[in-house]
Chain A
Amino acid sequence: MNHRSRSTAASALALLLAATAGCGHSSPSAEGRHGERPPVIGVSLMNLSSEFIVMINKAMEQRAKELGAKLIVNDAQRSPERQIQQVESFIAQQVDVIILNPCEVEASTPAVDKALAAHIPIVNVNSETKTVPTAFVGSRDEQSGRLAMGYIAGRLGGKGEVVMMHGYMGQAAQLKRDAGAREVLAQNPGLHLFAEQTAEWDRAKAISLMENWIQAHGDRIAAVFAQNDEMAMGALLALEQAKKKDKIIVVGVDAIADALEAVRQSRLDATVFQDAEAQGRQAVETALAIVRKRPFEKETYIPFRLVTKENVGQYAK
């Protein structure tokens, strides 16, 4: 292995250890003011093998350290059942507050119910559950679909032939990004969505789908809206290989590193930035405000932002 991948491997291992060991030792700054016991926040995350969730986690740990709180981080690895068990064990450990990053809308709901029944406040971050938690911090996914399709409408002057790549059918993000995009389509009767298909958030599947679309309707497509950047990158690669990218607009959502780089190089037209860092920081701030009995917002929405060539410099790291 070369140095770069060895160091990322080492940091991944460290992160895993930190997550599984539950951050047993508190740093000096976490001792809390006035010598009192630092508040303990139990965190159950949807999936630490997702880049986006890893970013939320880093921001939370950073903010907790700054504000003198102790985090216990568990990874539910996409299993709502495991998530419920983790919340149960937080209740047993008598944590002061729980931050839940729900795996699923319905299936993770019992986790919220149990915490509320045990009179432990719970903050949902990034995704919703059916039961309303003590507070919610996240973004409205519809807005990302609106921004992306709105950009396409602007570039095409409200008129043109559009295709859409969906995420996993039925997932909250797919449904909401779809709904947001359709609002824009409804407002622009000249925009015509003539083909749509799932590529399951996956770059390889998106390449194949785009190749097939190029065969079926090559010269008809004016713009591609992919519901995440992985698929947008796949569409982009297929279009570049077919030498058709200069005629077709491609827009994604999430602002992953690859997509930002592609926007910077004028290959990808736009992506939509979901602020993982702000979500993570705000979740910890809200949780601590609740514990310290200070006023807090019941719902905080962190806005999405459109990223194009003009403003990509603010986002690319």
Chain B
Amino acid sequence: MPCPSETGPFGRCGTAAAMRRLLRQFGIVIALMLIGAALAAATPSFFTAANLINVVRQIAINGILAVGVTFVLLTGGVDLSLGSVVALAGVIAAGFAHPGDYPVVVAAAMGILAGTACGATNGLVITRGGVAPFIVTLGMMTVARGLALVASGGKPVSNMSPDLTRLAGDILGLPVPVLILAAVSLVSWAFLGNTRLGRYVYAVGGNENAARAAGINVNRVKMFAYTLCGALAGLAGVVLAARITTGQPNAAVAYELDAIAAVVIGGTSLSGGVGGIGGTLSGVLLMGVINNGLDLLNVSSYYQQIIKGIIIVGAVWLDRRQKE
């Protein structure tokens, strides 16, 4: 039935529209709460402070990656090189983090720098070379993996200084990776909503030609998105190395798919222009809760894969239906 005005605050139509708006914004949060409630009912181990801290600890790396790739997806691009860049950054950071070698800041900075360089290279080839992001980042995926193997000699880089592994420890009962994710998310969220460059990211993904016609330097915006995404992948690599106490050249295979899945579950469009950090974090949390819950319930490895796939597609499908 047609509504005279979508904005009427008191009419039935208004209420329905408000409900729809609420669902649109919080559909994924509601899904998260439903799954959380089901898990809490199914096992007493789920809804405990220790386990919830556990869940956020486990999502931190995927979260940092997902926040980074949100920028790229918002511009309408994609980054398939994340997993390999994580491995490269981890190997580089671990190489600088032998006890008594360099201060931990240097090790972390070198890892982040390696990621930034990969991201900037992606951005450069995409904007200057005009090659499709899918292809460029697919190339970077194998190049970065190869570089990680060369830099490490194909072996895990171990003997890591405890200063670096502390990056995966706790401060006041909160895991450091979670604090890093919180800081990264907060800054990214504020940046996207409150700065000109942040709004340009949406504009470029929404309609590239219109953005260009409006005088936006589209290449600069894309360059920024890929470089930032690479830098955050570097940061994730440093955190992963700290967590596993080595630089593993073979680590983080296919992490990009988990990150992209989380972003899309969180409502960011694969074609760009729509979405944001809040949604991404909900998506990351949803995936983390599912992983944790299935382990707590001791669901067989075979069924875990099937269930995860169905929940991911189901969550996005529900989300899209609400938006129509």
Contact residues of A with B, CB < 8 Å? 1-2, 4-5, 8-9, 11-13, 15-16, 48-51, 54, 166, 169, 195, 197-198, 202-204, 207-209, 211-213, 215-217, 233-234, 237, 241, 256-258, 261
Within 8 A of A (CB), among B91-128: 92, 95-96, 98, 101-102
| CB atoms of A12 and B102 under 8 A apart | no
Select which of B50, B151, B240, B244 is within 8 A of A215 by beta carbon: B50
Interface majority SS (helix, strand, loop, mixed), chain A: helix
| CB atoms of A2 and B102 under 8 A apart | yes
| CB atoms of B153 and A204 under 8 A apart | no
| CB atoms of B54 and A203 under 8 A apart | no
Q: With A2-B95, A215-B48 as given contacts, are A8 and B152 in contact (CB-CB < 8 Å)?
A: yes
What are 29 inter-chain pairs, A to B, with CB distance below 8 A? A1-B92, A1-B151, A2-B95, A2-B98, A2-B102, A4-B98, A5-B151, A5-B157, A8-B152, A8-B155, A9-B150, A12-B153, A16-B150, A49-B154, A50-B154, A197-B298, A197-B304, A204-B243, A208-B58, A208-B291, A208-B292, A209-B295, A212-B292, A212-B295, A212-B296, A215-B45, A215-B51, A256-B156, A258-B156
| CB atoms of B58 and A211 under 8 A apart | yes
In the assembled complex, which residues on chain A have CB atoms less than 8 Å from the CB atom of B58?
208, 211
A215 to B47, CA, bound (A): 10
In the assembled complex, which residues on chain A have CB atoms less than 8 Å from the CB atom of B10?
none
A48, A166, A234, A241: most-surrounded residue (chain B CB, <10 A): A241
In the complex formed, the residue of A with least CB distance to B297 is A216
| CB atoms of A166 and B101 under 8 A apart | no
| CB atoms of A12 and B301 under 8 A apart | no
In the assembled complex, which residues on chain A have CB atoms less than 8 Å from the CB atom of B102?
2
Select which of B45, B155, B244 is within 8 A of A51 by beta carbon: B155
| Nearest 5 CB-CB pairings of A with B | A5-B95, A212-B295, A8-B153, A12-B153, A198-B301
> Shortest Cβ distance from A144 into chain B, in angstroms?
20
In the assembled complex, which residues on chain B have CB atoms less than 8 Å from the CB atom of A234?
244
In the complex formed, the residue of A with least CB distance to B86 is A204
In the assembled complex, which residues on chain B have CB atoms less than 8 Å from the CB atom of A213?
295
In the complex formed, the residue of A with least CB distance to B150 is A12
> Which stretch (B11-19, B247-255, B309-317) binds chain A?
B247-255
| CB atoms of A215 and B153 under 8 A apart | no
| CB atoms of A237 and B101 under 8 A apart | no
In the assembled complex, which residues on chain B have CB atoms less than 8 Å from the CB atom of A233?
244-245
If A195-B298, A215-B48 are given as contacts, then 17 extra A-B residue pairs at C-beta distance below 8 Å, sorted by A number, are A8-B155, A9-B150, A9-B153, A12-B149, A16-B150, A169-B302, A197-B301, A203-B246, A211-B57, A215-B54, A216-B43, A216-B296, A233-B245, A237-B245, A241-B169, A258-B156, A261-B158
A187 to B249, CA, bound (A): 39
In the assembled complex, which residues on chain B have CB atoms less than 8 Å from the CB atom of A4?
95, 98
In the assembled complex, which residues on chain A have CB atoms less than 8 Å from the CB atom of B95?
1-2, 4-5
In the complex formed, the residue of A with least CB distance to B48 is A215
In the assembled complex, which residues on chain A have CB atoms less than 8 Å from the CB atom of B48?
215
Q: With A197-B298, A258-B156 as given contacts, are A207 and B244 in contact (CB-CB < 8 Å)?
A: yes
> Shortest Cβ distance from B294 into chain A, in angstroms?
9
> Shortest Cβ distance from A211 into chain B, in angstroms?
5
A258 to B292, CA, bound (A): 27
Select which of A16, A204, A208, A215 is within 8 A of B252 by beta carbon: A204
